[in-house]
Every structure is written in structure tokens, then in C-alpha cells.
Amino acid sequence: MERNQLHRQVTLMRQSLFDQGYLDEQFVQLEELQDDTNPNFVEEVTTLFYRDSARLLANIEQAMEKNPLDFTVLDNYMQQFKGSCSSIGARKVKNECTQFREYCREESSDGCMRTLQQLKREYATLKRKLEAYFQLARQIGPRETASRPR
């Protein structure tokens, strides 16, 4: 594929992540920190997010198996997870974290379980989309500058 076509495809793919609500302004801020000395900064931060968040999700799932549920523990784990999501601009996943925490405050086991399943779907979808985006972006090389989504 021609370089200009690849560049256009990466731009459209990135924009769709914002248009579909998967990413927010924080992702742009990460991109602004990327430069010639660290051209893969955003991808590296995202990789660290997925490594760390897998551990947090495992902790949440383990806590969900306890009977009775300790909603304080669940809320604390989810607060950590939400912070991680916020740091990379994972908007849809962060919104599910907020909903889960609300169910913790209501002590709703069913609400927590439903929301956790939705959160895991959004998390997996974002991971798949970002992996495809970064793979395509690597083909054209480092980005010139970060740009605000339209």
C-alpha cells in the first residue's frame, strides 16, 4: 500500500476510535508527549496499561467469586482500574468502571456482575482496535504531530 494511503487509513482509524467513543482527550495528551526520542511512547504506555489492567481485572474477578461480596474491596479495585483507564483515555471502559462503582455503592451483586461483563467486552474491543491501529501506524513510521480529533 502506498505511504499516503496508509497515512490516510491510520488517520481515519484513529478518528473512528474517537467518533465511536472508545478514546477521549487524554489519548491526545499522551500523543503530545511522543517525540523523536521516544517514537513509540503511546504504544508503550498502552502496552503497560494492558499488562497492569489484566492483573487488576483478575483481582476484581477473584473478589466477585467471594460470598458475600465485599463491595468496599470491589470498589477499591475498580477505582484503581478506572484510574488506569483514565490515564490512556479509554473512555468507554472508564464509563463502565463508573457504573460498576455505582452498583458497589448500591451493593447490587447483579448490577456489578452485568457491568463487569460489559466492561470486559469494551476492554477487549478497545484492545483489538488499538492493536490494529498501532500495527498500521508502525507501517508508516513515527507520527509527525498529535492532532485533536474533530
| Residue 60 CB neighbour total at 10 angstroms | 23
Residue 27's Cβ-count burial label (10 Å; 0-12, 13-18, 19+) is buried
pLDDT tens series, the chain, 150 aa: 587 898 999 999 999 999 999 999 999 999 999 998 988 999 999 999 999 999 999 999 999 999 999 999 999 999 999 999 999 999 999 999 999 999 999 999 999 999 999 999 999 999 999 999 999 998 887 654 445 555
What does the alpha-carbon distance between residue 81 and residue 93 come to, in Å, rounded to a whole number? 9
Backbone angles phi, psi at 36, to 5 degrees: -60, -30
